[in-house]
């Protein structure tokens, strides 16, 4: 009995490493795009290469540091779109995170309000 348990430990380590590699490779193809400026008062943050049904958080921080979080579910094509309507002029920061809070991608954009 003890002999079998000894052989299971290396197998468990191999399976754990394989699962970690699969998780990493699944995210390796994921991408997030944040345009550098808004257009007509709107900005679309997009992404792809995700697993359908996965839930992501899109965190937007405005020029004075106020943060808003949008939740997006990945569609059947592995993509998402979060349309933003910034109000205040200036530099915004966007961070896209997985359900565990890990940052997947993001960027900054400038919003120049229409006169």
Q: CB–CB of 50/57 below 8 Å?
A: no
Q: What is the pLDDT of residues 5-31, one digit of tens each?
A: 444 444 444 433 433 333 333 456 999
Residue with tokens 């290469």: 49
Contacts 24+ apart (CB under 8 A), 89-92: 89/63, 89/113, 90/62, 90/63, 91/63, 92/60, 92/61, 92/62, 92/63
Any idea which architecture 30-111 has in CATH? Sandwich (2.60)
Domain residue extents for the chain = 30-111
Distance, CA of 36 to CA of 29 (rounded, Å): 22
Q: What is the pLDDT of residues 67-97, one digit of tens each?
A: 999 999 999 999 999 999 999 999 999 999 9
Q: What is the pLDDT of residues 105-115, one digit of tens each?
A: 999 999 998 77
């Amino acid at each position: 009995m003890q002999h079998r348990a000894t052989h299971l430990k290396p197998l468990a380590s191999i399976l754990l490493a394989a699962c970690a590699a699969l998780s990493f490779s699944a995210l390796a193809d994921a991408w997030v795009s944040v345009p550098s400026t808004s257009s007509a008062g709107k900005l679309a943050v997009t992404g792809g290469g995700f697993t359908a049904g996965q839930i992501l958080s899109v965190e937007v921080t405005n020029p004075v540091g106020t943060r808003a979080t949008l939740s997006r579910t990945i569609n059947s094509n592995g993509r998402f779109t979060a349309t933003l309507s910034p109000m205040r002029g200036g530099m915004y920061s966007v961070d896209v995170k997985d359900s565990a809070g890990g940052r997947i991608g993001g960027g900054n954009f400038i919003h120049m309000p229409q006169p």
